[in-house]
Structure 1
Amino acid sequence: MDLPLIDLVVFLVYMAAIVAFGISFSFRKRTALEYTTGGGRLPSWAIGMSIFATFVSSISFLALPGNAYLSNWNGFVFSLSIPLAAWIAVRYFVPLYRNLKSESAYYYLETRFGPWARTYASICYLLTQLARMGAIMYLLALPMNALFGWSIPLIIICTGISVVVYAMLGGIEAVIWTDAIQGIVLIGGALVCLLVIMFSMPNGPGEVFTIAAEADKFSLGSFEFNFVESTFWMILVYGLFINLQNFGIDQSYIQRYITARTEKEAVRSTWFGSLLYVPVSLLFFFIGTALFSYYQAFPDLLPAELQLTENADKVFPYFIVSGLPTGVTGILIASIFAAGMSTVSTSINSSATVFLSDHYRKYINKNTTEKQSMRVLLIASFVMGGLSIVVGLAFNGVTSALESWWALSSIFSGGILGLFLLAFVVKKAPSKAAAIGVLCGVVVIGWMSLSPVLLTGTPMEGFKNTLHTNLTIVMGTLTIFIVGFLLTGLFSNQKKQSI
């Protein structure tokens, strides 16, 4: 399918404008602290939009409508956990990190358990971000390849280079301001798409609800306490732990707490960005449901290959190309790329900050000058961006990029939240208890992630994990916290007895 010239022009102009706007921030004279925190002078609404854009990625833009088109609104339960996680964040996490006066999220772990905890968490973060950026760029390329025949490696390379250029040169200010613009484009594009679908129905917008209700498309899933399948409660618990990890220990979010002028503005931006995602994710689910109704009303408009369940994620991009007016299609394709670019740019900047603060200044050169720090930040941004392109290319050909990303993220990041909660909640927890807890947590995470693959079809099959894959982070976190908590009490009693 060929993209009309005007749509291609709209898309290319948007991409060029975003990159140029991001690069424009490089002409300002900045210190390393300004590069990583924006000098603590950014407005709360822009930071909030950046937090929102960090939540949304090309995975969300394509996967949420595809999920709703294929099944129901069970995945929306994830968003329902965000208000509780955001309340905990503004009540406890925002004041904690602003008072630490460090641009690194993992400095706090060092103050509680020593250098090993900071190094462990920061390495886990860097590995997670590489996997995330690679998965996003690959998933972004898939529908473009299917619809237009564009080369997957070429899309990954071009997208990656575009983001690396402005994220590397512009610093956190470029990331936040481009995130704000791309968040607005994303929401506007999605709203336009939904309105076109609704008012294209043969019997009016109400027919969307009629057809969808008959197919039970608005269901939030089973309310049984079943943690093997995607029930309401399983998704809610998973969402709460993922969002606590985002707000509590993810450098991408915590760095934004520090960019605000005051703690009050940091709290306001956190509420704004997190709560905005709830209705926008609902919008994406509704688009998927509306597409189901639309193609039930016009079954001849959907090619036979897209009616297969494994191609559900391609239905929305297909409608963007075939069902929207010329010009609007270009804007919607730009929205898809905006979602991916905003997340990747955030990961590049925050990863560079982590490398400088948690590794270079700590182990290589403790007395860096401003010039050296800026050079390290630029090189680290370039290297992380380049590696993410390599990871994206490595994803090419995997059976399921989304499942591969989930597995990698569980292995790399599943234990950091448990370590943080142990540090934050159990004030007397010693380093030894935390280290043993982390070791036990990593074993549990490894077993849950790998046993279904390694033990299936072997005599040990009875020992493989049968819980839902999404519970890996939950079990890993609980293992680290509970083991650390119990060992804290044990070591405390032993100490009293020895006295």
Structure 2
Amino acid sequence: MKNLPIIDLAVIASYLVAMVLVGVYFSRKNKNADQFTKASGLIPGWATGLSIYATFLSSNTFLGVPGKAFGGNWNAFVFSLSMPLAAYTAARFFIPFYRRTGEISAYTHLEHRFGPWARTYAVVCFLLTQLARMGSIFLGIALSLQALTGYSMQLIMVVMGVCIIIYTVLGGMEAVIWTEVVQAVIKTFGALLILYLIVGSVPGGTAKIVEIGQANGKFSLGTFSLTFTESSFWVVLLYGFFINLNNFGMDQNYIQRYHTTASTQEASKSLWLCVWLYVPASLLFFIIGACLFSYYQLHPESIEAIKQKVALDRLPASAPASEVARLVATLQPADYGDKVMPHFMVTNIPPGLMGLIISAILSAAMSTISSGMNASATVFTEDIYKRYIDSHLSGRKLLTLLHLTTVVSGLAGLGAGLAMIGVKSILDAWWTLSGIFAAGMLGLFLLGLISRQTTSHVALTATTVGVLVILWMTFSGNLPDQYSYLRNSLHSNMIIVVGTLTIFLIGILLTKITNRSTRPRAEGAMVSRE
């Protein structure tokens, strides 16, 4: 077990205690549900923007992106390049819409538009998305801190989960936002510090890093060929646009923040602040991944140690040395990319700075998980409990329910993280799961927003077809060889693109067919009455 110096332990403990104290401080203000869910609309736009940025800059970015860049190239950075277009669409159409309705839940209007089934479907998709998001983030932080501290991933998840639950339950949305403002600064500074330490550890510095990176194609954005069967530039661009459109336009985490500001203009400014901060910040993490690749190319003995550790983690303890050696020989950079940054930190960061780096990684995880807990509790309370159980719940009972569901959502996310131990790539796992769950929500929402004539029955039919397509794209790869012609040949990132377009376009087509079939009957009725 790696024993951290006292100074590092003191920094980590101080950070965790400070986060809990923030929750205690804001607990004095949380006297009603309005304060708990949207801070009574009194948060400055810049603070909300930093909060949204902190939610985006999760441990999936902090750990998964360098691992992805180490194992491949900068292809995944195209995801960030799609954000401005998605943000423009959200600021132009979605934010004014939500501010105008005044509904704290992102999904209430779906019931007004298509009926209870639409609202319930979107809520279930959202809750599953949050479960996947929180689980992947718990896993990411545990992977890193296990390498840095030697403690088990399970223990790390539990301790972190308890701290997050305490300050989120006590402080509500206001505590979430202001802690995320602090966390945004800490995690950005931590990333810059890591980059500085890596570059300083590479003989030859920046020039050598660029030389090795260019020789190994590390700075490529992927193929520009118009192919959708691999992770090309266009696949990631489409995936990024659709998933970010879902984030900014359908995700309760962000919709809820739009209500914390004083005006629509402030809400739009907060979204753009997030975008202009996140795009260069995400590039910073891809640069870190390329720098790590260069460092380990010059230290192959360290790569062998990482591969040995990965092989031992994957195989049972009783596996013979020959089997371990065979697995080590087959491992590729993509198989252990998530492990390289924790290894570098263990072996190269001097005492005194480790505590700060660990606090930055903790902040990357805690900000996203806390906002997910608050959003999940709000959605469950507004869209499930008040809709189907007690519509008149208010006052202290409503606040108590919000507290209880916040705890339950935190525990559920923790359970998801424990269940995900052993996945190959954190970023790949999150992208796949989020695409599956988000596709149906976004397609249904766009159909209701754009096509005013689409009926509930048409929307239900389109959604059913869309869900079947999503399920086929997700699971057809498991079909036996005799049915290989039925397998989905598109890249998994295309699930949200195809699923969304299927629901939207089938809904539009059926609407036009329905309108044409009813128009002659209506005209005939008018003639007969004359």
| 1:484 equivalent in alignment to 2:485 | no
| 1:449 equivalent in alignment to 2:456 | no
Residue 13 of structure 1 aligns with which residue?
A: 14
Of 151-160 and 77-86, deviating more is 151-160
1:20-169 → structure 2 map (5 Å cutoff): 20-169=21-170
For residues 402 and 68 of structure 1, the distance between their equivalents in structure 2, rounded to whole angstroms, comes to 11
For residues 65 and 502 of structure 2, the distance between their equivalents in structure 1, rounded to whole angstroms, comes to 31
1:412-451 → structure 2 map (5 Å cutoff): 412-451=437-476
Q: CA deviation at 1:169?
A: 1.4
**Counterpart amino acid of residue 515 in structure 2:** S
* Residue pair 1:410, 1:449 contacting (<8 A) in 2 also: no
* Residue pair 2:60, 2:426 contacting (<8 A) in 1 also: no
Q: CA deviation at 1:435?
A: 0.6
Provide TM-score, normalisation by structure 2: 0.90
**Counterpart amino acid of residue 495 in structure 2:** T
For residues 400 and 298 of structure 1, the distance between their equivalents in structure 2, rounded to whole angstroms, comes to 23
- Are the structure 2 counterparts of residues 269 and 400 from structure 1 closer, same or farther at C-alpha, using a change threshold of 3 Å? closer
For the residue of structure 2 that corresponds to 1:228, the secondary structure is: coil
Q: CA deviation at 1:295?
A: 2.7
Residue 182 of structure 2 aligns with which residue?
A: 181
Q: CA deviation at 1:49?
A: 0.9
Residue 384 of structure 1 aligns with which residue?
A: 409
Residue 351 of structure 1 aligns with which residue?
A: 376
Of 432-441 and 137-146, deviating more is 137-146
For residues 405 and 450 of structure 1, the distance between their equivalents in structure 2, rounded to whole angstroms, comes to 17
Whose radius of gyration is greater, 1 or 2? Answer: 2
- Alpha-carbon deviations, 1:408-465, whole Å to 9, x = none? 4333322000001111111221111111111001000000111112x0x342222011
- Are the structure 2 counterparts of residues 411 and 294 from structure 1 closer, same or farther at C-alpha, using a change threshold of 3 Å? closer
For the residue of structure 1 that corresponds to 2:259, the secondary structure is: helix
Residue 459 of structure 1 aligns with which residue?
A: 482
For residues 99 and 84 of structure 1, the distance between their equivalents in structure 2, rounded to whole angstroms, comes to 22
* Residue pair 1:32, 1:370 contacting (<8 A) in 2 also: yes
Q: CA deviation at 1:399?
A: 5.8
Q: CA deviation at 1:13?
A: 1.6
Q: CA deviation at 1:405?
A: 4.1
Which of 395, 401, 405 is equivalent to 1:370?
Answer: 395
* Residue pair 1:410, 1:445 contacting (<8 A) in 2 also: no
Provide TM-score, normalisation by structure 1: 0.96
- Are the structure 2 counterparts of residues 394 and 199 from structure 1 closer, same or farther at C-alpha, using a change threshold of 3 Å? closer
Percentage of identical aligned residues: 47
| 1:470 equivalent in alignment to 2:493 | yes
For residues 178 and 316 of structure 1, the distance between their equivalents in structure 2, rounded to whole angstroms, comes to 25
For the residue of structure 1 that corresponds to 2:452, the secondary structure is: coil
**Counterpart amino acid of residue 231 in structure 2:** S
- Alpha-carbon deviations, 1:75-119, whole Å to 9, x = none? 101100001001111111110100001100011212211222111
* Residue pair 1:141, 1:152 contacting (<8 A) in 2 also: yes
| 1:361 equivalent in alignment to 2:361 | no
For residues 407 and 373 of structure 1, the distance between their equivalents in structure 2, rounded to whole angstroms, comes to 35
* Residue pair 2:30, 2:171 contacting (<8 A) in 1 also: no
Q: CA deviation at 1:23?
A: 2.7
- Are the structure 2 counterparts of residues 481 and 14 from structure 1 closer, same or farther at C-alpha, using a change threshold of 3 Å? same
* Residue pair 2:137, 2:365 contacting (<8 A) in 1 also: yes
For residues 413 and 82 of structure 1, the distance between their equivalents in structure 2, rounded to whole angstroms, comes to 16
Of 19-28 and 335-344, deviating more is 19-28
Q: CA deviation at 1:325?
A: 2.5
* Residue pair 1:415, 1:477 contacting (<8 A) in 2 also: yes
- Alpha-carbon deviations, 1:203-241, whole Å to 9, x = none? 343332222222221111110011111111111011011
For residues 65 and 34 of structure 1, the distance between their equivalents in structure 2, rounded to whole angstroms, comes to 38
Q: CA deviation at 1:299?
A: 4.2
1:212-227 → structure 2 map (5 Å cutoff): 212-227=213-228
* Residue pair 1:11, 1:330 contacting (<8 A) in 2 also: yes
* Residue pair 1:51, 1:274 contacting (<8 A) in 2 also: no
* Residue pair 1:163, 1:344 contacting (<8 A) in 2 also: yes
For residues 402 and 217 of structure 1, the distance between their equivalents in structure 2, rounded to whole angstroms, comes to 18
* Residue pair 2:306, 2:343 contacting (<8 A) in 1 also: no
Residue 267 of structure 1 aligns with which residue?
A: 268
* Residue pair 1:82, 1:275 contacting (<8 A) in 2 also: no
* Residue pair 2:147, 2:346 contacting (<8 A) in 1 also: no
* Residue pair 1:395, 1:401 contacting (<8 A) in 2 also: no
- Are the structure 2 counterparts of residues 393 and 196 from structure 1 closer, same or farther at C-alpha, using a change threshold of 3 Å? closer
- Are the structure 2 counterparts of residues 392 and 300 from structure 1 closer, same or farther at C-alpha, using a change threshold of 3 Å? closer
Aligned residues: 497
- Alpha-carbon deviations, 1:358-406, whole Å to 9, x = none? 1121111111221121011111101111122222222234566655544
Q: What residue ranges of structure 1 are gaps of 5+ in the alignment?
A: none
* Residue pair 2:376, 2:409 contacting (<8 A) in 1 also: yes
For residues 134 and 301 of structure 1, the distance between their equivalents in structure 2, rounded to whole angstroms, comes to 29
- Alpha-carbon deviations, 1:122-149, whole Å to 9, x = none? 1211122122212211222123224433
For the residue of structure 2 that corresponds to 1:3, the secondary structure is: coil
**Counterpart amino acid of residue 330 in structure 1:** G
Residue 241 of structure 1 aligns with which residue?
A: 242
- Alpha-carbon deviations, 1:239-285, whole Å to 9, x = none? 01100110111100111111111111111101001221100000000
For residues 139 and 399 of structure 1, the distance between their equivalents in structure 2, rounded to whole angstroms, comes to 11
* Residue pair 1:306, 1:312 contacting (<8 A) in 2 also: no
For residues 74 and 217 of structure 1, the distance between their equivalents in structure 2, rounded to whole angstroms, comes to 9
**Counterpart amino acid of residue 334 in structure 1:** S
- Are the structure 2 counterparts of residues 304 and 393 from structure 1 closer, same or farther at C-alpha, using a change threshold of 3 Å? closer
For residues 423 and 343 of structure 2, the distance between their equivalents in structure 1, rounded to whole angstroms, comes to 22
**Counterpart amino acid of residue 244 in structure 1:** L
